[in-house]
Structure 1
């Protein structure tokens, strides 16, 4: 038998619990724990009895391990792994992916992202802004980069932050009334994200927030808030809806700017041709 645990019971991710208490497990429990670690990505495809067979231990030993790690039973272990996925950690807990179901889930996410009442407000703000700063960290940065690349085709004075090797303080120092900041913050955001949103608003800029539903605590800090689902049926988050959303925003800005936007597109295309920067094809 393993030594009794002091209260409170083990907490944290299951792999952290196993690592922290591995030396306090019995030899049989260690074997069972090692099997859990080997199958964390597909635990939902097994029953507790099947895991016991894989580990070469009894069902009682497997159940005792769950309790030693602070779980009531195997169902609670599965719920724990699903909670990790909800927080943004890549984790497959539903067996082999159903790609047809994934396509349907992507379509639902895109529909939700593109039918929000705040979308026209975001377009109007970006079309009329004196300057635009698009900011995104980590997995939000490619979405921010894509939005900036599209907006700059339609209007001038569109900046991206943070740039490699730079902070955002200098960008905030230039903000004021008439400027718009687009803060893109999908889950697993850096801790300073909320401070950045607050500082952008305090500088006098209008703030457009694009984030997944886990950013609820930041919504009240924005003038316009757009939520965009990123969790699908696969291990990693999907940004299909996010990319569709920024594409629709940029399209709306181009339409809102009318002749000025079209003239800018033509001027940029002419520069490409003169500099031979892009391929041409017929």
Structure 2
């Protein structure tokens, strides 16, 4: 079976062919999918009311050698961003430590001056386009909102209902693109990066540590968390740092822009 399929998908694909006992174990795993990433075959058998041998046969039917391979597969999927829990997540202190560690790694990665290089590209560009797909779009949208306070000519792409080509057509060496792409990137992400590179458009990539590129300024934010889902706390913090660094390139002009926007908020009655 394909390695990218999680145990729930494998169960649903083979459910009709399972024995009654195996179905009881499968039903338990469908109700408690996190158990596959944490517990042994003996523990799963006890929880589902079947024998350990039944659980072992179920795992073999699903394409695994044993429960250890099930756990390893679940953890491997989690490392690519698949939302599979690998243990209890109620320990808030542990969650906080993990978030702090992610922020520390992000800051350490900026120590070589790449944040300044990225800010210079964005501050000097004629137009800045912030591009984000799927789970990266909220980070891109937040970064665009921050950057537009610091300078004019900033837009988000793709806009709803628009294709990528028409959003990026006409960009050149005088412009800049921030390409936000965290793991589980869509298939066309690399094509967008390559097309922009061929056209000589300066690119700042904001991504997770697993991403690798050349010819771009790459800013890395870890997203792995203790829970079943990736955390974008470091990514949002990175958006803050990047926008602030752009603002610092023209502090007087940026302040004037912020004051003008704030005055317009009041004139339009948009904020409380």
- Same fold by TM-score greater than 0.5: yes
Work out the CA distance in 1 between the residues paired with 2:53 and 2:2. 20
Matched, 1:211 2:207: yes
Residue number among 128, 146, 149 corresponding to 2:145 in the alignment: 149
Q: Judge which range, 199-208 or 51-60, deviates more.
A: 51-60
- TM-score scaled by length of structure 1: 0.89
CA displacement at 1:22 relative to structure 2: 2.6
Query: Are the equivalent residues in 2 in contact too, given 1:135–1:183 (CA < 8 A)?
Result: yes
Give the deviation of 1:79 after TM superposition: 1.1
1:132 and 1:159 in contact (8 A); partners too = yes
Task: Encode CA deviations 1:229-263: one digit per residue, 9 max, x unaligned.
Answer: 11110111111100100101111111111211121
- Confirm or deny that 1:49 pairs with 2:42: yes
CA distance in 1, matches of 2:107, 2:125: 22
Query: 2:71 is matched with which residue?
Result: 78
Deviation digits for residues 50-75 of structure 1 (CA, Å, limit 9, x no counterpart)? 21122222212222222222212111
The structure that has the greater radius of gyration is: 1
Q: C-alpha root-mean-square deviation of aligned residues, in Å?
A: 1.8
Aligned residues between the structures: 268
SS at match of 1:184: strand
> CA separation of 1:74/1:230 partners in 2, compared to 1, >3 Å: closer, same or farther?
same
User: Aligned partners of 1:135 and 1:244: how far apart in 2?
Assistant: 18
- Mapping 1:11-160, distance limit 5 Å: 12-115=5-108, 116=110, 117=112, 118-160=114-156
Identify unmatched segments of 5+ residues in structure 1: 1-8
TM-score, structure 2 normalization: 0.92
- CA drift at 1:44: 4.4
For structure 1, which segment, 202-211 or 14-23, has the greater mean C-alpha deviation from structure 2 after superposition? Answer: 14-23
Distance in 1, matches of 2:76 and 2:176, equals: 35
